Chains A and B, each alone.
Chain A
Amino acid sequence: MKSPEFNELRLDTIRREFGGFNALKGISLTIKRGEFIALLGPSGCGKTTALNCIAGLLSLSGGKIMLDDRRIDDLRPEERGFGMVFQNYALFPHMSVAKNIGFGLRMRGVAKSEIDRRVAEAVNLVRLQGQEAKLPGQLSGGQQQRVAIARAIVIEPPLVLMDEPLSNLDAKLRLEMRQEIRRIHSSLGSTTIYVTHDQEEALSLADRIVVLREGEIRQVGTPEDLYARPADVGVADFMGYRNRLAGKIVSRDGATARIDIGGGELVGLLQGSFSGDAAVVALRPEDLSTDMTGGGEAGSFGAKVTAIEYRGSEFHGLAMTDQGTELHFSSHHRHGVGERIRLRGMPERTLVFDGAKA
């Protein structure tokens, strides 16, 4: 028994209110079969609400959800047939691993021998051989996670929904399971919607990332798009642009501009249209580094180190310009706190947004 295939899932201005609070303010998105979509955003941005609406665990306040030409937002969760992996796994504590994984098949009235075969397949896929008879309470966190994934995918759902599935695991296991999830997604050719607040997870897993903030979509794009070209300062914040500096445009030259950030000047690429001179410069710490050789060169300016920490491949530090602007920078040297340094940004990776909009 194969679940019905589909070509696209379309969210059409879906809204959800909780007693006057707008958790989702009209989200529209089309997801194609086979895609791995990450819903990325800070907590409270509506990403889990969106996922629960798609799963049918929450009803919509407005809009519709279409699976090809079939409207599904009025269907109950058990009628939608999507696989869902919960943040706390939600394994049935009184059922063995095999029973947990076979639950969806039993509910569909699949024959016993067929259930056994497919459960064994799923157990192999998530590499849990030999654990079938155990209860969830006897498994480690990572193993429980695998059971939850196997249980969701064994029913061969057209769509797999994952709600921060790795947030309860330790760092090493998280990395392992991330690769595992991607491997399972590719080997099944399934469509996955993955909710996370971790940009690294989203960047490494997804074909497309949807950035949500305050119940609205801020940007949709490939990981590369979002990493290099965040649509606004908010998305840049999420993509690791730790420096977001208010400044003023001093001069323009085509698409580039020179910005005064208070105690220093940076050259960057203008993003979108500008209504005035006010600007916000977004820059990653790795693209703002110390320049020990030159003094007074264009694009470099002086600052005082206020904190420094070791990051393995390099040092990350905090510095302050003479006019009190705080900057995150990187360096290959361990600078002492209070030391005077010269910083230089990379103009092609320095993004300048309109300060009036930000």
Chain B
Amino acid sequence: MSGATLNEERVSLRTRLAEKGIDGTTLLILPGIIFIFALFVYPFCYGLWLSFQPKVGGALANYEKFFSQPFLYNTIWTTMRLALPVTLINLLISLPIAFRVRLMRNQRLLTTLLILPITLGTVLVAEGMIFYLGPQGWFNRILLTFGLISAPLKLVNNYWGVFISLVITGFPFTFLLILSYVTGIDPSLEQAAATLGANARNRFREVFFPLLLPGLAITFCLAFVQAYSVLPSAVLVGDPANATRVISIAAYQAATEEYDYPMASAIAMIMGVTQLGVVALVLALRSLVYRGPVAAAKG
């Protein structure tokens, strides 16, 4: 008798768990969780702990040092000055292209071409830029030949070098995300707006844009985080001593040149907090707009 009761309880527990969406399949997320712990949670916690163990001074000495030296705290501004405009520019370029591609029959070819840079990697793009955009590069030679400029434009080894490199490598990512948001909007909504008298501009302003806004916010956050952690192009096509001394360079130098791991950890924490601040602000703004389904509502 007791065996039967036990069995019933076991069945009912399993049923109760299944109703909450927990069953055997749930175990499949275990490898993922292990990875997240091993590669993110543990290093993060260790780094946080390490940042409060400075080589000299009290627990907060690393943070005090960072915010008292312009050489260090200016890197936040330098990084923002790159990441924010680059992210915005990529959004602004991707949006009209995505709107055009949406109407095309043969999307695949163009999409493949547009996402090609993502497969190249930062270093190859940087190398190409040095050859093509450098003082002796084709770009400047062509402009000089046609007399459009009298001296070569300086497009690498400064702010603009990193800027261009980030636009090139960040665009495919931004474009693909935005394309999926744009094509997700039910085309009958645009047709309805048109029959109600809305011209192309109003259709965008009144229908597409509000429905895209939440997706644009997410895209902005992801693209921004990518651009904010820029390191290779800041060194290769930038001016790593001055104009493009981004925050990751500061962390890199602390770790590999000064062998000050606690300081590098503190910089990494500051980097995380500052980009989290931007992301949180964007997501907070996102929560103020409509975030429901973008299909034509159906009962």
Question: Which residues of A line the B interface, CB within 8 A?
Answer: 55-57, 76-78, 80-84, 86, 88-94, 103-104, 107-108, 135-137, 139-144, 151-152, 155, 161, 168
Smallest CB gap from B196: residue in A: A104
Q: Are B189 and A78 in contact (CB under 8 A)?
A: no
Contacts of A77 in B (CB 8 A): 191, 194-195
Q: How large is the interface on B (under 10, 10 to 19, 20 to 34, 35 or more residues)?
A: 20 to 34
Most buried by B among A78, A81, A161: A78
A-B pairs with beta carbons under 8 A, tally: 104
**How far apart are B208's CB and chain A's nearest CB, in angstroms?**
11
Contacts of A136 in B (CB 8 A): 297
**How far apart are A72's CB and chain B's nearest CB, in angstroms?**
13
**How far apart are B236's CB and chain A's nearest CB, in angstroms?**
44
Q: With A57-B195, A137-B292 given, is the CB distance from A94 to B298 under 8 Å?
A: no
Cα–Cα, bound, A95→B77 (Å): 39
Contacts of B191 in A (CB 8 A): 55, 57, 77, 84, 86, 90
Partner of B197, one of A88, A107, A144: A107
**How far apart are A84's CB and chain B's nearest CB, in angstroms?**
4
| CB of B207 closer than 8 Å to a CB of A | yes
Choose, from B109-117, B198-206, B266-274, the stretch at the interface.
B198-206
Return 8 A-B CB contacts under 8 Å, by A number. Answer: A56-B194, A76-B199, A78-B195, A82-B195, A89-B297, A92-B189, A92-B193, A152-B195
Cα–Cα, bound, A80→B206 (Å): 20
Cα–Cα, bound, A355→B192 (Å): 45
Smallest CB gap from A82: residue in B: B195
Q: A92-B192, A94-B210, A108-B197 are in contact. List 10 more A-B contacts (CB 8 A).
A: A77-B191, A78-B194, A82-B195, A83-B195, A92-B206, A93-B297, A139-B299, A142-B299, A143-B299, A168-B298
Q: Are A103 and B188 in contact (CB under 8 A)?
A: no
Contacts of A78 in B (CB 8 A): 194-199
| CB of B127 closer than 8 Å to a CB of A | no
Cα–Cα, bound, A76→B199 (Å): 9
Q: Are A151 and B299 in contact (CB under 8 A)?
A: no
Contacts of B196 in A (CB 8 A): 78, 83, 103-104, 107, 151-152, 155
Contacts of B292 in A (CB 8 A): 93-94, 135, 137
Q: Are B297 and A144 in contact (CB under 8 A)?
A: yes
Cα–Cα, bound, A277→B56 (Å): 113
Q: Are A144 and B298 in contact (CB under 8 A)?
A: yes
Contacts of B210 in A (CB 8 A): 94
Smallest CB gap from B185: residue in A: A93
Cα–Cα, bound, A31→B188 (Å): 26
Q: Are A93 and B293 in contact (CB under 8 A)?
A: yes
Q: Are A88 and B194 in contact (CB under 8 A)?
A: no
Contacts of A161 in B (CB 8 A): 195
Cα–Cα, bound, A89→B295 (Å): 11
Cα–Cα, bound, A267→B294 (Å): 59
Q: With A88-B298, A93-B297, A137-B292 given, is the CB distance from A76 to B194 under 8 Å?
A: yes
Partner of B195, one of A84, A140, A141, A168: A84
Q: Are A89 and B195 in contact (CB under 8 A)?
A: no
Q: With A135-B292, A137-B297, A140-B299 given, is the CB distance from A90 to B189 under 8 Å?
A: yes
Contacts of A86 in B (CB 8 A): 188, 191-192, 296
Within 8 A of A (CB), among B137-194: 186, 188-189, 191-194
**How far apart are B46's CB and chain A's nearest CB, in angstroms?**
45
Cα–Cα, bound, A78→B199 (Å): 6
Q: Mark B268-299, 1 if CB is under 8 A from A, else 0.
A: 00000000000000000000011011111111
**How far apart are B217's CB and chain A's nearest CB, in angstroms?**
14
Cα–Cα, bound, A152→B192 (Å): 9
Partner of A90, one of B199, B290, B296: B296
| CB of B211 closer than 8 Å to a CB of A | yes
Cα–Cα, bound, A92→B211 (Å): 9
Q: Are B197 and A89 in contact (CB under 8 A)?
A: no
**How far apart are A125's CB and chain B's nearest CB, in angstroms?**
17
Most buried by B among A55, A93, A152: A93
**How far apart are A127's CB and chain B's nearest CB, in angstroms?**
17
**How far apart are A19's CB and chain B's nearest CB, in angstroms?**
10
Most buried by A among B193, B210, B294, B295: B193
Q: Are A107 and B298 in contact (CB under 8 A)?
A: no
Cα–Cα, bound, A272→B295 (Å): 50
Contacts of A139 in B (CB 8 A): 297, 299
**How far apart are A133's CB and chain B's nearest CB, in angstroms?**
14
Cα–Cα, bound, A28→B298 (Å): 35
Nearest 10 CB-CB pairs, A to B? A141-B299, A136-B297, A94-B290, A104-B196, A90-B192, A107-B197, A90-B188, A77-B194, A84-B195, A90-B296
Cα–Cα, bound, A161→B191 (Å): 13
Smallest CB gap from B198: residue in A: A107
Q: Are B296 and A81 in contact (CB under 8 A)?
A: no
Most buried by A among B192, B193, B206, B292: B192
Cα–Cα, bound, A137→B290 (Å): 12
Q: Are A89 and B194 in contact (CB under 8 A)?
A: no
